[in-house]
A and B are shown apart, each in its own frame.
Chain A
């Protein structure tokens, strides 16, 4: 029996939401509104293009791909907004740096902070690999890159995290 769209929601909503939640970690303030809006947008886009999904394709990887696009475009919007308000952004950065200094005593907060400072693609790769448990062929497929590139992105991120942990010792 062909896959029905409602099954897609029931099977994959939770993991796609968790993925977006993690990608939007830095932007989250109170509650989950960004991830919630994004996951709804993901399923709306998926609904509109579901008819074009080939029967032999992997619907889970397809949803991750849409989710990644949605998150990228949201993060780009946020970045543009910050650029436009550059003077305000500078002061926000200073405030951020000051607060980073305070929380850096806490290793978990430092890891979080480092993750949030990674380029979006690196963050997406490492989140997909180690938090969403996707394998490299799937990551490469949904990000539209080679497996080597996906591995390299994860490697770079892990290397930075490892250094951070070594500094902490």
Chain B
């Protein structure tokens, strides 16, 4: 009985599939192109590129406002996972040419500071102010977390300052590696290989 029923049902389904049309490939392609076009216009564009560096593979990304992310010593998918899933990601080394050129000069010892537009608008006002102050530390110098907190007008905020530096989305360009602990140790560093990378950068700049 069950076999008869399922046989019957299979025949009905077969008939159903043949009777109901499927969209043509042209209709599908047309609609696909229309949805992709809408998405390209609606979603914020993030263009990214990569280069090799003494600290391992280095990835950088720009949006409409400027350089918005940089990381090194990680895998590509780890870098890309940080972006808003609603954004449109596009690998475009040309869009990153200026950024990557300045980074190459920096690693070669031919550049000590960067001339780039950056976007840290995703951070809180406090985090942004910490990174703004960090940009005032000259190459070859180091400040303590306490000094940075004082410069910020929040002398008791050394720990939150450390937390804000750890969220720096653009290490190296925003030189959070130039901030060390008051006891003379390096403190922390969340970029690439951690403290080894921080030590390497400070040596490159002649601060160690």
Chain A residues in the interface with B (C-beta under 8 A): 1-6, 9, 13-14, 17-18, 21-22, 25, 31-32, 35-36, 39-40, 43-44, 47, 50-51, 107-109, 111-112, 115, 126-127, 130-131, 158, 161-162, 165
Contact A9 B18 (CB under 8 A): no
Q: Is the CB of B80 within 8 A of A43?
A: no
Known contacts A6-B39, A6-B88; is-contact A111 B34 (Cβ 8 Å): no
User: Chain B 17-51, CB within 8 Å of chain A: the 1/0 string?
Assistant: 11111110001101110111011001100000000
Residues of B within 8 A of A2 (CB): 81, 85
A165 to B16, CA, bound (A): 10
How distant is B139 from chain A, measured CB to nearest CB, in Å? 35
Question: Count of B residues near A, CB < 8 Å?
Answer: 33
What are 17 sample pairs from A and B whose C-beta atoms fall under 8 A apart? A18-B23, A21-B21, A21-B27, A32-B27, A36-B31, A39-B35, A40-B38, A47-B39, A47-B43, A107-B15, A108-B18, A109-B19, A115-B20, A127-B20, A162-B12, A165-B12, A165-B15
Contact check: which of A5, A35, A115, A158 meets B23 at CB < 8 Å? A35
Enumerate the 7 nearest inter-chain pairs by beta-carbon distance, A residue then B residue, closest first: A111-B19, A108-B19, A32-B27, A21-B23, A1-B81, A4-B85, A161-B12
**Contact (A161, B16) CB under 8 Å given A9-B39, A21-B23, A50-B85:** yes
- Does any Cβ of A come within 8 Å of B116's Cβ? no
Chain B neighbourhood of A1, CB < 8 A: 77, 80-81
- With contacts A21-B23, A36-B30 known, what are 4 further pairs, Cβ within 8 A? A13-B35, A39-B35, A108-B18, A111-B19
Question: How many whole Å from A162's CB to the nearest CB in chain B?
Answer: 5
Determine whether the beta carbon of A131 is less than 8 Å from that of B17.
yes
In the complex, are the beta carbons of B32 and A14 less than 8 A apart? yes
